A = this chain, B = another copy of it.
Amino acid sequence: MTVGGVKSARSRAPSRGSDGGRAADPGLGGRAGAGLRGARARAIYVSVLEAILSNRLSPMTRLPEDDLGSIYGASRTIVRSALEALAHDGVIVIEPNRGAFVASPGTAEAREVFDARLLIEPQLAARAAERVSFADIAALRRHLDAEEAAVHGERQQQAILLSGRFHVLMADAAGQVTLARFVRELVSRSSLIVALYWRRRDATCACSAHRALVEALAAGRPELAQQLMRDHLAETLDGLDLTDPRQGVSDLSAALTGG
Q: Which B residues lie within 8 Å of A120 (CB)?
A: 119-120
Interchain CB contact under 8 A, B112 and A12:
no
| Interface: A67 (CB within 8 A) | yes
Q: How many copies does the complex hold?
A: 2
Q: Report the nearest B residue to A9, measured CB to CB.
A: B252
Interchain CB contact under 8 A, B119 and A179:
yes
Which stretch, A86-94, A132-140, A151-159, A219-227, touches the partner chain B?
A86-94
Interchain CB contact under 8 A, B13 and A60:
yes
Which stretch, A46-54, A102-110, A231-239, touches the partner chain B?
A102-110
Which stretch, A14-22, A161-169, A198-206, A208-216, touches the partner chain B?
A14-22
Interchain CB contact under 8 A, A3 and B257:
yes
How far is the CB of A68 from the nearest CB of chain B, in Å? 9
Main secondary structure of the interface of A (DSSP, over half): loop
Among candidates B13, B72, B103, B253, residue contacting A1 with C-beta atoms closer than 8 Å? B72
Given contacts A71-B3, A112-B178, A249-B9, contact A34 B104 (CB under 8 A): no
> Considering the chains assembled together, what is the distance between the CA atoms of A119 and B255 in angstroms?
38
Q: Report the nearest B residue to A102, measured CB to CB.
A: B14
1/0 per residue, CB under 8 A from B, across A1-38: the answer is 11111101111111111101000000000000011111
Q: Which B residues lie within 8 Å of A9 (CB)?
A: 61-62, 249-252
Interchain CB contact under 8 A, A38 and B176:
no
How far is the CB of A21 from the nearest CB of chain B, in Å? 10
29 A-B residue pairs with CB within 8 Å? A3-B70, A4-B253, A6-B70, A6-B252, A8-B62, A9-B62, A14-B60, A14-B93, A18-B104, A18-B106, A35-B86, A38-B96, A80-B81, A84-B84, A88-B88, A109-B178, A112-B176, A112-B177, A112-B178, A113-B178, A115-B176, A115-B178, A116-B179, A116-B182, A119-B119, A119-B120, A119-B123, A120-B120, A182-B182
- Known contacts A11-B249, A38-B96; 9 additional CB pairs below 8 A are A1-B73, A3-B73, A8-B62, A9-B252, A12-B99, A13-B60, A17-B104, A35-B84, A109-B177
Give the B-binding residues of A (Cβ under 8 A). Answer: 1-6, 8-18, 20, 34-38, 60-62, 64, 67, 70-73, 80-81, 84-88, 90, 93-96, 98-99, 101, 103-106, 109, 112-113, 115-116, 119-120, 123, 176-179, 182, 186, 249-253, 257
Top 5 nearest A-B pairs by Cβ distance? A1-B73, A35-B87, A35-B88, A14-B101, A6-B253
